[in-house]
């Protein structure tokens, strides 16, 4: 296979699920390169970017621009004659069909209320033009494949699926100091993880917060939103609810391991990484039956209807009151999470890369 150039713009962005995917796929590709199971890879990024943790794939900086302008003008020159792989929803139009672009979902089309006007218009235009220029499109779930195919008028058969992994949740030792800083007692709080974007549906947790408060249990929400991308909407509110803001990987592991459960009310997900991280960490999951999350969690989670708040409180009451349910969910979750690895995702990505320009 020919040399691959990876678009390293993700290294300059704040960490969300998209950047997590790019980081972990690149880590897995680095391992495959070291084992001789992948072709040579160049990681090309805007000037000033450093990421020593990606060895043996060094970061190669190029050009003089940053952001979208760097991606559209500087990056294609650096990738000329090679297959370009972009892992974060966008890619340069000038690369034409000699590229693969991972588009994580069709959110800019399906949930416009979640995004700023400029962001969603740019994504709609750019992704439509990439499809017309025959860029190879890859996504992270069968759900996303169907929605992207409909939005971009691309046959589903031409969109590959890699899925994601959850083992990164166990890489860093847990940092339990976050519990003491916020007065959280192990097994006396329920965790929510997500941005305040509209589709994350955090406002639906208000009734759950009241139920938990009546039982002396805290609802703790981790995560932050980029206002340049997401339009802030619902937030966790109610008695006994606290916002933790952005947390580190080590802190998040401690939260997963100490929480009664993860509650994930999102009504639209291209994959659903927090439930997978929670399952890998042995944390029971209660999730909205929406988007790709049922595809990821299968029978290893409790489900509720995101349009019916009472169904969430009923699921919480069941978890709190039914003997043996929480341990069963922990065991089922760990077994389910073991099916999703970043190595497998990287191998599927390489299979799609091999088809570019073939």
- Has residue 229 got a pLDDT over 70? no
Q: What is the mean pLDDT of residues 237-252?
A: 86
Confidence of residue 225 (pLDDT cuts 50, 70, 90): low
> How big is the CA angle at 12 (ends 273 and 127), to the nearest 5 degrees?
65
Model confidence pLDDT, tens digit, residues 323-355: 999 999 999 999 999 999 999 999 999 999 999
pLDDT for 231: 41
Q: How far apart are CA 120 and CA 29, in angstroms?
A: 30
- Has residue 217 got a pLDDT over 70? yes
Model confidence pLDDT, tens digit, residues 129-140: 999 999 999 999
Confidence of residue 1 (pLDDT cuts 50, 70, 90): low
**Nearest CA-CA partner of 280 in 186, 170, 180, 177:** 170
Tokens of 75: 């990056």
Q: What is the mean pLDDT of residues 250-273?
A: 97
Residues of the chain with pLDDT > 70: what percent? Answer: 94
Least confident of 51-60, 157-166, 169-178: 51-60
Confidence of residue 228 (pLDDT cuts 50, 70, 90): very low
β-strands 41-45, 59-61 pairing: parallel
Tokens of 355: 């088809």
CA distance between the termini of the chain? 11
Q: Residues 83, 357: contact at Cβ < 8 Å?
A: yes
* Residues facing 160 on adjacent strands: 138
pLDDT for 341: 98
- Has residue 236 got a pLDDT over 60? no
**Nearest CA-CA partner of 95 in 129, 63, 139:** 129
3-state helix, strand, coil in the chain (%, to 5): 45, 15, 40
pLDDT for 358: 54
Predicted model pTM: 0.93
CA 337 vs CA 4, 179, 237, 334: distances in Å: 29, 25, 30, 5
Model confidence pLDDT, tens digit, residues 68-112: 999 999 999 999 999 999 999 999 999 988 999 999 999 999 999
Tell the burial category of 131 from Cβ atoms under 10 Å away from its Cβ (0-12, 13-18, 19+): buried
Give me the domains of the chain, ranges plus CATH numbers. 4-165+341-353 (3.40.50.2000), 174-337 (3.40.50.2000)
State the DSSP code for 355: T
Q: Residues 293, 285: contact at Cβ < 8 Å?
A: no
């Amino acid at each position: 296979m020919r040399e691959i150039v990876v678009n390293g713009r993700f290294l300059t962005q704040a960490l969300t699920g998209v950047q997590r995917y790019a980081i972990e796929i690149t880590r897995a590709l680095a391992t495959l390169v070291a084992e001789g199971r992948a072709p040579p890879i160049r990681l090309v990024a805007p000037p000033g970017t450093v990421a020593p943790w990606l060895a043996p794939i060094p970061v190669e900086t190029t050009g003089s621009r940053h952001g979208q302008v760097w991606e559209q003008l500087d990056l294609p020159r650096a990738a000329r004659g090679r297959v370009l792989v972009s892992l974060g929803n966008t890619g340069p139009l000038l690369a034409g069909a000699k590229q693969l672009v991972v588009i994580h979902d069709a959110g800019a089309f399906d949930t416009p209320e979640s995004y700023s006007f400029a962001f969603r218009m740019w994504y709609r235009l750019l992704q439509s033009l990439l499809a017309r220029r025959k860029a190879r499109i890859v996504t992270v779930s069968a759900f996303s494949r169907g929605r992207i195919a409909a939005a971009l008028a691309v046959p589903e058969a031409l969109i590959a699926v890699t899925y994601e992994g959850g083992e990164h949740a166990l890489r860093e030792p847990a940092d339990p100091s976050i519990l003491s800083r916020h007065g959280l007692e192990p097994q006396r709080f329920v965790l929510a993880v997500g941005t305040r974007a509209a589709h994350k549906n955090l406002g639906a947790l208000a009734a759950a917060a009241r139920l938990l408060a009546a039982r002396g249990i805290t609802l703790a929400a981790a995560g932050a939103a980029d206002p340049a991308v997401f339009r802030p909407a619902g937030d966790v509110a109610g008695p006994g609810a606290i916002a933790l803001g952005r947390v580190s990987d080590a802190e998040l592991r401690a939260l997963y391991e100490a929480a009664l459960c993860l509650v994930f009310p999102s009504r639209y997900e291209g994959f659903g990484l927090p439930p997978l991280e929670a399952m890998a960490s042995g944390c029971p999951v209660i999730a909205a039956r929406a988007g790709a999350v049922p595809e990821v969690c299968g029978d290893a989670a409790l489900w509720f209807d995101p349009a019916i708040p009472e169904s969430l409180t009923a699921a919480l009451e069941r978890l709190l009151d039914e003997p043996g349910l929480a341990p069963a969910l922990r065991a089922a979750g760990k077994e389910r999470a073991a099916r999703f690895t970043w190595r497998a995702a990287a191998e599927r990505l390489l299979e799609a890369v091999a088809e570019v320009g073939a």
